[in-house]
Structure formats: C-alpha cells, structure tokens
Chains A and B, each alone.
Chain A
Amino acid sequence: MNVWMSLIVSLIAIGAVVVVGAIGGLVPALHPVFGVVIPYAALAVFILGFIWRVLRWAKSPVPFPIATTAGQQKSLPWIKQDKLENPSTRWQVVDRMILEIVLFRSLFRNTRMELYKENGKLTYGWQLWLWAFALAFHYSFLVVVLRHLRFFLDPIPLPVTLLESVDGFLQVGLPSVMISGFVLLGAVGYLLVRRLYVPFMRYISLPSDYFPLFLIASIAATGILMRYVVRVDVVGVRELTLGIATLNPVVPDGINFLFYIHLFLVCVLLAYFPFSKLMHLGGIFMSPTRNLRGNSREFRHVNPWNYPVKTHTYDEYEEEFRDRMIEAGLPVEKQPAESGSATDTESAEDSAE
C-alpha cells in the first residue's frame, strides 16, 4: 500500500466515524443510543478486550531469559556493573522500566545515521525530536484524560481541580485556554507530519498507523472546538457523563451535536484499542526484553516446556576418533580392543577439514 492509498483509506474511515457521530447528534431520537448505549458498549469492549489480549500474551511462557543488555553485567566486585542496562535485581529492573515508561528512555538515545559518500564516513547524530514529541503527546493526552475526570467524578477531587488550574495558568481567553489540549493537537500533528515527511516512515506506515493519529487528532480538535469555538452546554454534558458513571443514565436535551461526534470518536478509540497497536500500553509491561533481569549467569533458568533432545555424546565422539586420539596422546575412555567394532570407518574421508 503506498502512502496515498493509506491516507485515503484512513481519512475515509475517520470521515465515516465523524458522519455517523454527527447523525447521532443531530437526530434527537438517537441521543440515547449515542449518549448511553454506545459508550457503555465501547467501555465494555475496551476493558474486556484489553484483559483478553493481555491474558492471551500471558498464556505463552517466557522460556529463555532474553533481557536486552547494553552494558556490563554483574560480575566480580571490581568490575562496575551497568545497573540500568543490565539489571541484576528486581529493583533495578523496576528502575529501568520506570524510566522507560515515564521518560521513554530508549527513545532518548535515538540517533540519525548519515553516510558521507565523499569520504565514506558514517556518523550518528543525536536526534531527540521523536522522544520530545512522543513524550509531549503521551503526557498531554494523560493530562487531558485526567482533566476530563471532572465529568465523571462527584465531588470533583482536588488533584483534578489543581490540574485544571495549572493547565490554565496562562489565563488567556474565556474560559481559560488549557495548554494540554493544544499541546496534544500539536504533538499529534508533528507525529503525523513526521510519518508523512520522513521517507522511511512513509515507506513502513500502514493505514492502521495513520488511523489512530487521525482519530486522536479529531478527538482533540472536536474538544477544542467545543470548548473555545462552538461552546456546548457543559452542565448538560456533565449530567450525561455522571449518569454514565453512576450507571444511572440520563440524556438531557439541548447538547450540541459536536459533543456527540466527540463522544462517538472517543468510543471508537476505546473499541478500536484492544485490536490495534495501541495495546502497547499493556505490552510494554510484559516485554521480555525489558522486564527480565540479566542474570542468566547467576541463576539457572529452566524452560517450562523443556524437552530432551538428541545430542552427540562423548561416547559417540570417541567411537569415531579413538584411533587418532590415541595416536595424538589423548586420554580415551575405552581402548580399541574393548570397543569391539571396526575402527577405520567413513569418517576419515569427510568434507570437514
């Protein structure tokens, strides 16, 4: 699939979602469906789907310790161990994983390769754009989601209110512009542009790589439109969301159809989540190359599905080479007289040198 086809397919998919959401918002009879039924269904699919996917991974064992190590393993006391690159205790693994999950450690060491054909020199330059914007994207998304808790919790806990005041500390506009929404849109925009601009990114991207970006961009865009441009009935929205959160659904009138588009986009994201690459949320915790200790020299790991294999035993080895071993003065287990069978066999003429 080339990039144009991928883009067209994903845009059509997003367009379809937006149109369906709009219909749901414009037709009052459909409000209960789009405001209650679909959110519950999407949540169920998300939670059950996520659990199912993780359990499916967990059904397979990790037979061998395959931590990715990029540093010195624990060794003699006078050799300095690289505790994060080659963890040997559970806590070191936890540290490594915390840095990975909270600060995207592996992306921090990203480099860009450049080959100078004039003199054949290969250079690596540090490149932090992906790290910075990936962090910005994920953290702004987190802040946006946490802020939205004000629609689902009653009374609104202090941390959420504090988050809102920090997010709106610039005090620009009425109501205050919350930075996180714009950072989210900007970061998604960068990731999308990067995926389209960098040649190898275009080459490897599938429609299922563009689709979640468009989806999240549309969610951010409709959210921004609702808050700063179109202005929706926030009280009505909160009635609806609190109804969902208390399992006591209610659908007030007069909520702008843009809200239903936004809600439907979020539901699609939730329902799409377990079937897509977005499962990296769960996967990163279970990746054997990151959550294992590099202690295969310290402890014997036993493979749960270990089975006996056919090996070339020493007896068989000696059987083949006994004469030459004796000639070379090597110790042998059995003398030729004891072995009983002919000594000169086909082994002498083999291709092995």
Chain B
Amino acid sequence: MADEVPNPQEMINIDHRPPATGWMDTPTVLRKGIYCYAGNPKSLEYVGLPNPRQWHPEDDDWKLPENWVEIVLDGLRDRLDRFRSLKIFMDICVRCGACADKCHYFIGSGDPKNMPVLRAELLRSVYRKDYSLAGKILGKTVGARKLTYQVLKEWWYYFFQCSECRRCSVFCPYGIDTAEITILARELMNLLGLNIDWIATPVANCYRTGNHLGIQPHAYVDMLDFFCDEIEDVTGVRPKPTFNRKGAEILFITPSGDVFADPGTYTAMGYLILFHYLEQMGLDITWSTYASEGGNFGFFTSHEMMKRLNAPRPSAWGSSGSWAANAATCGG
C-alpha cells in the first residue's frame, strides 16, 4: 500500500474542470486507491447475501449471475414501488447544479461523477431507459442509457464513493437525497453480490458479535477492564462497569470504535468515570456485549440489513427491562 503515495503538494492538485468528453462517453477507470476491495465471500455467506465468491474489482469478469440485468431492473422496479422518495427523486431533478460542488468526495477527487447530480444520473439514465417511453425511444437524447456491464461497474465504483452524509440534500431545492439513492443502488448491487469488504465484513461482525469490529464478549469485558486500570492509575478510583445485567435501569450502547481505538478510548473512559458518578447518585447502568454497536452498519448495505442489525438493541432492552441510551456514532 505504500507504493506511489503522492505527497501533499501533488495531492492538492485537484482539477475540478470536467473532461472534454460527455459523462456517458467517458469510460470509468477504477483507480487504485479510490476503490475499496471486494467483499469477503465468508462475510456474505455469514449473513446470507447473494453470490458470495472471490473477485477483484480490476478483473474483467466479476462473476455475476447470467440474468444480472433482469435481477437489477426487477429490483429497481420493486424499489420504485416501495419507496416514494426514489420515484420522486428520479423525476424531479432539474439539473440546477446547486448540489454539484457540495459533495466533499467531488471536492477531494475532482471526479465529476462524484457530483451528486451526476451520481444520481448514473442511476436515473438507466431508470429512464427502462421506465419511460421517451427514454426507450429517444435514448441518449433524453439522457437514457442501457444497463451494460460498464454501467454496472460505474455504479459500483461511484455508489461506494458516497458516504451517505446527505449534505447535497440540504442544498437541493427539493431535498433530493443522494444518500437515499445510494442506499437503494447498493441494495441493487447487493442482489448481485457486489459490495465492498469495508462494509461487508463489519456487517458480518455486527451480525455475529454485536459490533462491527468483531469484538467477542470476553474481549469487550477485557478492554473495558483495561480502561478501568488506566483510570485507577490516574485518579485512584476504579469504576465498576457491569455487563448484560438484566433488570438494570439504563442500558448503554456506544460505538464499538470507542472500545477499540483512540480517540474513542478516551470517550469510553469518560463514560466509565461519568457512570461511576451517576451510579453513586442512584442510577443503575449496564453495558451490553450483545448489543455493542452504537452505529447501524446495515445503513451502508440495505434497509433490510439495517433492520437485521438493529435487532439486538430492542431485544437487549427487552431482556434487561431498561431504558436504552444510545451514544452518537462517529458517522454511522
């Protein structure tokens, strides 16, 4: 990974000018360092996502099922029926460009297909070809195009470059939300087994261990124990966190990153100190190793996965009979 990393002076040379060729005619080059690696088949198998297999984004053949076009178009039609947001966002963009320079991935990469308006057009052009009569007849004239292998690769490359932050939606006059479009495009790609490992393995970890880092219950306890050692070293007071305790008043769930890495570890130590104080005031707090992820990594995969990964939280609340407190996450 350390080969040819440019220095800051080179990296700031971002060209925001669009290329000479139209965006439909500019082939997508999957640039190393921009794309994330393909999802580990074991992670997909663990949560039952379709088409788990070894593949590499720079391969020509992504080993898709024969009828992948049908799968995607049927999936798109199904989602148009289930999500009014997608239907409206596909129809009312007027290409005013207010969103264009608002996406920090566009600002950072200079790649015009990272402009929210174009990111949505990647999907919208296929929608037009499939859904509207004018699109079927007039094709490129009305901005419609067929779903080809190249288009699918383009979708994968760009819809995994959106972090679903929704900043574009703030500036759009109608609130067209590229995050919504991205989630639904990723759902379509998940139907074919096209995801990135940066998401797929955390999802599998959340499913299995309750947190995206895959911290198993004993390790979780161990880590917090280590924090308690640190706190005792510095302050002379040792907090006594409890775990998975039924009947506690408050169930606290924090992002697992807080348990694992700086600067979150300082936040976690802060919680421990705070809870020690609150417990002396009479509040009854417990942590959970089963529901140990404040963020929902299903958000980066699909709506269904969001629901599946959320399950530990209500069930953990239910079992402990407590109020839940969910700490805000770093981004999820």
Docked Cα-Cα span, A58 to B85, in Å, equals 10
Docked Cα-Cα span, A276 to B173, in Å, equals: 17
Q: Is the CB of A325 within 8 A of B84?
A: no
A204 with B117: CB separation less than 8 A: yes
Asked whether A112 and B101 contact (CB < 8 A) given A283-B92, A314-B290, A324-B217, the answer is yes
Partner of B143, one of A112, A208, A312, A324: A208
B148 nearest CB across to chain A (Å)? 17
Give chain B's interface secondary structure class.
helix
* Contact call B308/A287, Cβ cutoff below 8 A: no
The reply on B176 being an interface residue by CB < 8 A is yes
Closest to A313 in B: B315
Please give, as numbers and ranges, the residues of chain B lying within 8 Å of A286 by CB-CB distance.
Answer: 84, 88
Contact with A along B219-259 (1 / 0, CB 8 A): 00110000000000000000000011110000000000000
Asked whether any CB of chain A lies closer than 8 Å to the CB of B174, the reply is yes
Within 8 A of A (CB), among B188-213: 201, 204-205, 207-210, 213
- Per-residue CB contact flags for chain B residues 80-93 toward chain A (1 = under 8 Å, else 0) read 11111111110111
Residues of A within 8 A of B290 (CB): 314, 317
- Docked complex Cα distance between A327 and B216 (Å): 12
Over the window 180-223 of chain A, the binary record of Cβ atoms lying under 8 Å from chain B Cβ atoms (1 yes, 0 no) is 00000000000000000011111111111100000000000000
Contact yes or no, A202 B177, CB < 8 A? no
Query: How many residues of chain B are within 8 Å of chain A by beta carbon?
Result: 87
Q: Which residue of A lies closest to B286 (CB)?
A: A331
**Interface membership of A120, Cβ < 8 A:** yes
Query: Could you tell me if B97 and A329 are in contact, using CB atoms closer than 8 angstroms?
Result: no
B112 within 8 A of A: yes
Considering the complex, give the chain A residue whose CB is closest to the CB of B168.
Answer: A68
- Say yes or no for B327: interface residue by CB 8 A criterion: no
Whether A329 and B221, one on each chain, are in contact in the complex, defined by CB atoms closer than 8 angstroms, is yes
A60 lies within 8 A of B80 (CB): yes
Whole-angstrom CA separation of A201 from B97 in the bound complex: 6
**A290 close to chain B: CB less than 8 A:** yes
One of B118, B142, B169 near A68 (C-beta < 8 A): B169
* Given A289-B177, A314-B312, A325-B217; A200-B97 close (CB under 8 Å): yes
In the assembled complex, B56 has its CB within 8 A of some CB on chain A: no
Contact: A309 with B308, CB < 8 Å? yes
Q: Is B267 among interface residues, defined by CB-CB distance under 8 A?
A: no
A106 to chain B, nearest CB (A): 5
* Given known A-B contacts A115-B12, A330-B217, A289 and B175 have beta carbons under 8 A apart: yes
Contact A287 B112 (CB under 8 A): no
Known: A62-B84, A284-B174, A330-B217. 19 other contacts (CB 8 A): A56-B87, A60-B84, A60-B86, A61-B82, A70-B170, A110-B98, A113-B107, A117-B14, A200-B115, A204-B97, A204-B117, A204-B118, A206-B95, A206-B143, A279-B92, A305-B82, A352-B201, A352-B205, A353-B213
15 A-B contact pairs sorted by A residue (CB < 8 Å)? A2-B22, A60-B87, A61-B82, A130-B98, A200-B18, A203-B112, A204-B23, A280-B94, A287-B89, A287-B176, A314-B315, A321-B216, A331-B246, A352-B208, A352-B216
A residues lining the B interface (CB < 8 Å):
1-2, 9, 53, 56-64, 66, 68, 70, 100, 104, 106-107, 109-113, 115, 117, 120, 122, 130, 134, 198-209, 275, 277, 279-280, 283-284, 286-290, 305, 309-314, 317, 320-321, 324-325, 327-331, 350-353
